[in-house]
Structure 1
Amino acid sequence: MSAEIDLLARQHAPQVLAEALRLARSKAVEVLSERLVNAIIAEALKPYRPPQLESADKGLCVYAITRECEIKLPALRTAVSPRLIAHDGVGAVVADVDLAQFTNLEADPVEDSALATLAREHDAVVRAVFEHEPVLPLRFGTVVTGEQAALDLLRERREEALTWLDRVAGHCEWGVRVESPVPPETSSEGLSGTEYLRHRQSALSRDQDQAKAAQSMHDKLQRQATDAACREQRPHTLLDAAYLVPQDNETSFRDSVTRLSEPLERLGATVHTTGPWPPYSFTRIELAVQQ
């Protein structure tokens, strides 16, 4: 019996070692990815402030860029009523704010937290503009020194802003995320080496089929969109993309998502769709105020 055990050990040791190394790498990537995601979120939540605002108590929050127009904007709990500051055909939606409310915000807010309230109000302002005019949403917490700084921003970036406003006019953003289930731990207990390898090959084949189906979905959806943006994927995420879709093509786009989801769901993946949104993922204009 001892000899048989030694023989089995020699036969299976390389497989076990290779599998242990693969699992260790996967776990390391997952842990590191989670830490990186938290760091990125924390960085993204830091409000933009020019140097003059670092020691100031009040500033002007800039929510979005749009065309010069008359528009009804929502009342806010965290700031005075927002207004439009205009220059030569373009406008910045702004509100006077107390800068203290943008400090020490938690990266993972609960429903009634300060961050959740500020984020909802930011989105409400952007959506109010989006309902009537093309809009370039700005990063949450973009704050400048005052009206003159906002006007300088519009003056310096007017042509660039008008180009992007023309591009997103008549469009909305849709998000599609495809996730694969977390695979159960594979135990070799009671399995022969051949059975274990067959099981692993079956799981690998399923993963490959899911990845191909997700890529096929993305290829077909982006052909129905004016632009597409893929976000960095987290573990077990096969696709995380935003699509800039013409509003007169939304029904066809949604139907395509439903149809393309079916083979993925048969393979065990889950498809999440969000939208329509203002074009948050497609505002590529640099709006930092140079002072």
Structure 2
Amino acid sequence: MTETVPAVPSATAATYVFAVCRRVDEDVLARLPGITTAPVRALPFERLRAVVQEVPAAEAGRGSWTERLSDPGELERCVRAHHRVVTAVAAHGPAVPMALATIYSSEERARQALGDGAARFHTVLERVDGRVEWGVKVYVPSAAGVSSAAGAGRTAVPASVPGGSPASGAGRAYLERVRGAHRAREESRRAALLAAEETDAELRGLAVAARRLRLQDQQLTDGHRAQVLNGAYLVEEGRTARFREAVAALRERTGALIELSGPWVPYSFASFAGEDALHGDR
């Protein structure tokens, strides 16, 4: 590990901040591409280090980044680059990940604003030290999927039979199929909601902290399932195996579709970081 040497800030550059940590390995940072072609480096402040990169001032405005991130390809590139830097930093010690596109108008402004929040950074670093984030999602088959399955082989219902009498038998059968599909959807959803509550309650008991995140739109899944739980759990690294075993046991016991992802840098437990700095000074 080498000692951080403060860089001379450029008057024509803004400062993009990836993460805040206690210490960094400059050799690791030097190998990271980041968002732009400028070097990824450390910016010291209040016994902490911010991992930063210069961004051309002309491209650092809110409007410029809003337009830039509206392009799906560019958004994916920036998200991947941001996450790659944060993950590399967190591999060498606790880190507070900053929000995507956290940009200050200058290095001095970044140092000042981050310094103002130093106490909070120290608190979060203590909270996440030796811990990782796991994501757990519970799904239910979508209404469309259930109704399609229930209606397989359905035939058209004639309005009448010869002589003008209603096709009462066919009509009753049709209505029963409709009611059956509706019951199947409701029962499937109730079972998934109960599984979600059971899953969340049990996993909270194994976590240091937990958050229920906003449910993702069905279009973001495979289109055949709806999300009923989107949970984030902060878990001691030493309890990772126990946590994974608990998820497997819940799958078997509830029969629910439970998806486990991680371990991640604890983004969900450092969400305050960068809220006042997003897209630069206001």
Give the TM-score, by structure 1 length.
0.70
Map residues 247-286 of structure 1 onto 2, 5 A cutoff: 247-264=237-254, 266=255, 269-286=256-273
65-74 or 158-167, larger mean C-alpha shift: 65-74
- For 2:187 and 2:14, locate their aligned partners in 1 and report how far apart those are by CA, in whole Å: 56
The SS at the match of 1:104 is helix
Structure 2 contact 97–273 (Cα < 8 Å) conserved? no
Give the counterpart letter for 1:75 in structure 2. Answer: L
User: What is aligned with 1:129?
Assistant: 89
Report how far residue 133 of structure 1 moved: 1.3
Structure 1 contact 213–263 (Cα < 8 Å) conserved? no
1:67 aligns with 2:22: yes
Give the counterpart letter for 1:124 in structure 2. Answer: R
User: What is aligned with 2:46?
Assistant: 88
Residues 46-74 of structure 1, C-alpha deviations (whole Å, 9 max, x = no match): xxxxxxxxxx9741100111114444213
* Residue-pair matches, total: 230
Map residues 39-58 of structure 1 onto 2, 5 A cutoff: 58=13
Q: Percent identity?
A: 27
1:171 aligns with 2:131: yes
The SS at the match of 2:67 is coil
The SS at the match of 2:117 is helix
- For 1:203 and 1:155, locate their aligned partners in 2 and report how far apart those are by CA, in whole Å: 53
1:104 aligns with 2:40: no
Give the counterpart letter for 2:231 in structure 1. Answer: A
Report how far residue 229 of structure 1 moved: 1.4
Structure 2 contact 41–53 (Cα < 8 Å) conserved? yes
User: What is aligned with 1:240?
Assistant: 230
Q: Bigger relative contact order, structure 1 or 2, given CA contacts below 8 A and separation 6+?
A: 2
- For 2:257 and 2:48, locate their aligned partners in 1 and report how far apart those are by CA, in whole Å: 42
The SS at the match of 1:105 is helix
- For 1:115 and 1:284, locate their aligned partners in 2 and report how far apart those are by CA, in whole Å: 20
- For 2:246 and 2:179, locate their aligned partners in 1 and report how far apart those are by CA, in whole Å: 37
- The structure whose residues are more often helix, as a share, is 1
Q: Which runs of 5+ in 2 are unaligned?
A: 1-10, 158-169, 219-225
1:141 aligns with 2:96: no
Q: Among 184, 203, 208, which residue is 1:221 paired with?
A: 203
Residues 106-149 of structure 1, C-alpha deviations (whole Å, 9 max, x = no match): 5573xxx2222221111111011100111111110111012111
Residues 51-100 of structure 1, C-alpha deviations (whole Å, 9 max, x = no match): xxxxx974110011111444421331623111111123111110002353
Report how far residue 196 of structure 1 moved: 5.0
With over 3 angstroms needed to count, the CA separation of the structure-2 counterparts of 1:272 and 1:57, relative to structure 1, is farther
User: What is aligned with 1:181?
Assistant: 141
- For 2:124 and 2:90, locate their aligned partners in 1 and report how far apart those are by CA, in whole Å: 14
The SS at the match of 1:139 is coil
With over 3 angstroms needed to count, the CA separation of the structure-2 counterparts of 1:199 and 1:144, relative to structure 1, is closer
Report how far residue 286 of structure 1 moved: 4.6
Residues 208-238 of structure 1, C-alpha deviations (whole Å, 9 max, x = no match): 1221011101110111111111112245211
Structure 2 contact 96–273 (Cα < 8 Å) conserved? no
User: What is aligned with 1:36?
Assistant: none
Q: Which runs of 5+ in 1 are unaligned?
A: 1-55
- For 1:138 and 1:211, locate their aligned partners in 2 and report how far apart those are by CA, in whole Å: 33
- Alpha carbon RMSD of aligned pairs, Å? 2.6
Structure 2 contact 17–53 (Cα < 8 Å) conserved? yes
Report how far residue 244 of structure 1 moved: 0.9
With over 3 angstroms needed to count, the CA separation of the structure-2 counterparts of 1:90 and 1:206, relative to structure 1, is same
Residues 16-48 of structure 1, C-alpha deviations (whole Å, 9 max, x = no match): xxxxxxxxxxxxxxxxxxxxxxxxxxxxxxxxx
The SS at the match of 1:173 is strand
